[in-house]
Amino acid sequence: MPGSHDFIGLLSDADSLQLMLFACPDAVVATDRDDRVVLYTGASESMFGFAPIEVLHQPVRRLFATAEGYEHFRRQLVAEQHIVNLEVPAVRKDHPHFVGAFSAALLHDRFGEEMGTILYVRDHSKMRSIEEALRDNNHRLNELVRTLNHVAQHDQLTGMLHRGSAIETAEATLFGRNAPDSFGVALFDLDHFKGINDTYGHLVGDEVLASLAGVLKQTARQDDIIGRFGGEEFIAFLPGADLAKVAGFAERVRHAIGEARVHVDGDAETDISVTISAGVAAMPACAETLQDAIRVADDRLLEAKRAGRNRVVSTGSLFAERTAA
**Which of 177, 35, 28 shows the shortest CA–CA distance to 106?**
35
Render pLDDT for 226-261 as a digit per residue (tens, 0 to 9). Answer: 999 988 999 999 999 999 999 999 999 999 998 888
**Residue 9: pLDDT above 60?**
no
pLDDT of residue 64: 96
- Please state the pTM of the whole predicted model: 0.61
Percent of the chain with pLDDT over 70: 89
Residue 215 burial (CB < 10 Å; 0-12/13-18/19+)?
buried
Cβ distance 295 to 319 under 8 Å?
yes
Active site residue 207: no
H/E element, 293: helix 290-306
Residue 25 burial (CB < 10 Å; 0-12/13-18/19+)?
exposed
Render pLDDT for 60-117 as a digit per residue (tens, 0 to 9). Answer: 999 999 999 999 999 999 999 999 999 999 999 988 899 999 999 999 888 888 899 9
* Cα of 294 vs its chain's centroid, Å: 34
Q: Name the architecture of domain 156-324.
A: 2-Layer Sandwich (3.30)
Lowest mean pLDDT among 20-29, 34-43, 136-145, 281-290: 20-29
Average pLDDT, the chain: 87
pLDDT of residue 322: 54
The confidence band for 289, taking pLDDT boundaries of 50, 70 and 90, is very high
Render pLDDT for 27-69 as a digit per residue (tens, 0 to 9). Answer: 999 999 999 999 998 889 999 999 999 999 999 999 999 999 9
Among the listed residues 232, 233, 288, 303, the single catalytic one is 232
pLDDT of residue 4: 53
- Higher-confidence residue: 81 or 21? 81
Q: What's the rounded mean pLDDT across residues 182-201?
A: 92
The ranges of the chain annotated as CATH 3.30.450.20 are 4-129
pLDDT of residue 114: 87
The ranges of the chain annotated as CATH 3.30.70.270 are 156-324
**Residue 14: pLDDT above 50?**
no
**Which residues partner with 233 through β-bridges?**
189
pLDDT of residue 1: 45
Q: Name the architecture of domain 4-129.
A: 2-Layer Sandwich (3.30)
Q: What's the rounded mean pLDDT across residues 280-309?
A: 94
